[in-house]
Amino acid sequence: MHDDDAKRHDVIVVGGGQAGLAIGYFLAQQGRDFTILDAAAEPAAGWRERWDSLKLFTPARYNALPGLAFPGDPDRYPGREDVVAYLTDYARHFDLPVELGRRVRAIRKADGGYLVELDARAYAADQVVVATGPFQIPFVPAIAERLDGEVVQLHSTAYRSPDAIPEGRVLVVGGGNTGFQIAEELSASREVHLAIGSRQMPLPQRILGRDLFWYLDATGLIRKTAASRIGRRMAGRDTLIGSTPRALHRRHGVQLHGRATDAAGSTVSFDGATKLDVEAVIWATGFRVDHSWVDVPVFDGEDRLVHRRGVTASPGLYFLGLSWQHTRGSALLGWVKDDAEHIANQIETFSATVPAEPRAPERVA
């Protein structure tokens, strides 16, 4: 499709989750001509893909996007639906131009700016912000293919509640917050096993009556950059908030295993040569990012995005909301605003250098 056929904006934001909405807030404040394109049919798609009983690990006081408090008791731990409602309300409150059902298939350089291609249309823009989330493609290890068709298996994004899981023995694979929450929920009604591939650093949710994130905020740790010594150490090890393998076993009877290394029929093998027959497996094994549709040379030889705090070497192309884009807070509700504001400032500076669109001469009657 040619640039001439495309609808033009100064800025296009791809993705209307918390990152897309946060940058939208700053662009609206600048009075900029922009639109936010989201593939999903409904707002807050990322959160809708998570299980029904999900409880946030950040209390309400730390879940606000810029300009609008998260409702309710600031010390409560909201659920999934609270976030869906908040994000939906946020876009409405600031009248942000979110266009749903608009999956972007490609971004290319064109005529000094960018062409943003969808299935049946295209948009042109001087600047583009990619805010498609830190968790894109559900990752399932290859051993999953060796399990019998009779074993029910699903990735954590497809898990909603215990109702859809067979009565028998269930194995949850993945020792992160997701694996722990799902294993705990299932343990109320079935025999549950958890395979932990690499141990994450357990941190208590509350310490001396205060939430963990209060300490991370008060000490400045949440804003330590990925390039700092302590940031590098923090980024290298995921954290498990509010639980430990021991507590999960003692309080909920979940049986623990090492890394799941192989599978055959209905049997899964673990590090240490132990085996287990299972009726169902839930893969809480994380995600991969996919920026293969961004057809602009901003990736290294291993397809990793090269950027500085979301700003790429291609003028006017930015990323927002990546894990550790700048700090631990970069992909969290309450702190994504810091990077969003940074990118918005870059956009404002860059805009000042872009020559204004030539206008058609006014018609004289």
Ligand X SMILES: Cc1cc2nc3c(=O)[nH]c(=O)nc-3n(C[C@H](O)[C@H](O)[C@H](O)COP(=O)(O)OP(=O)(O)OC[C@H]3O[C@@H](n4cnc5c(N)ncnc54)[C@H](O)[C@@H]3O)c2cc1C
- Applying the rule CB under 6 A, the residues between 277 and 316 that interact with ligand X are none
Task: Write the CA distances from 247 to 71, 209, 332, integer angstroms.
Answer: 31, 20, 26
Q: C-alpha 344: how far from its chain's center?
A: 20
State the nearest-atom distance from the C-beta of 157 to ligand X, in Å.
8
- Applying the rule CB under 6 A, the residues between 198 and 237 that interact with ligand X are none
- Applying the rule CB under 6 A, the residues between 19 and 38 that interact with ligand X are 19-20, 37-38
Q: Which is nearer to ligand X, 37 or 192 (CB)?
A: 37
Q: Which is nearer to ligand X, 276 or 305 (CB)?
A: 305
Judged by CB under 6 A, which stretch of 56-64, 259-267, 275-283, 352-360 contacts ligand X? 56-64
Over the window 120 to 139, marking each residue x when it contacts ligand X by CB under 6 A and - when it does not, the resulting string is -----------xxxxx----
Number of residues in contact with ligand X, rule: CB under 6 A? 31
Tokens of 79: 């659920």
Residues shown for the chain: 365
Tokens of 200: 């994450």
Question: Residue 25 is which amino acid?
Answer: Y
CB 265 within 8 A of CB 224: no
Tokens of 178: 């997701």
Residue 179 contacts ligand X per CB under 6 A: no
Question: Residue 181 is which amino acid?
Answer: Q
Q: Which is nearer to ligand X, 64 or 110 (CB)?
A: 64
- 117 pairs with which residues across the strands? 106, 122
Over the window 138 to 177, marking each residue x when it contacts ligand X by CB under 6 A and - when it does not, the resulting string is ----------------------------------------
Q: Which is nearer to ligand X, 49 or 191 (CB)?
A: 49
Instruction: Give the separation between CA 222 and CA 334, rounded to whole angstroms.
Output: 11
Q: Which is nearer to ligand X, 14 or 147 (CB)?
A: 14
H or E segment at 261?
strand 260-264
User: Reduced to 3 states, what is the DSSP secondary structure of residue 329?
Assistant: helix
Select from 65, 28, 2 the least CA-distant residue to 11.
Answer: 28
Q: Which is nearer to ligand X, 45 or 234 (CB)?
A: 45
The site for ligand X (CB under 6 A) is made up of: 14-20, 37-40, 45-47, 50, 56-58, 103-104, 131-135, 178, 321, 331-334
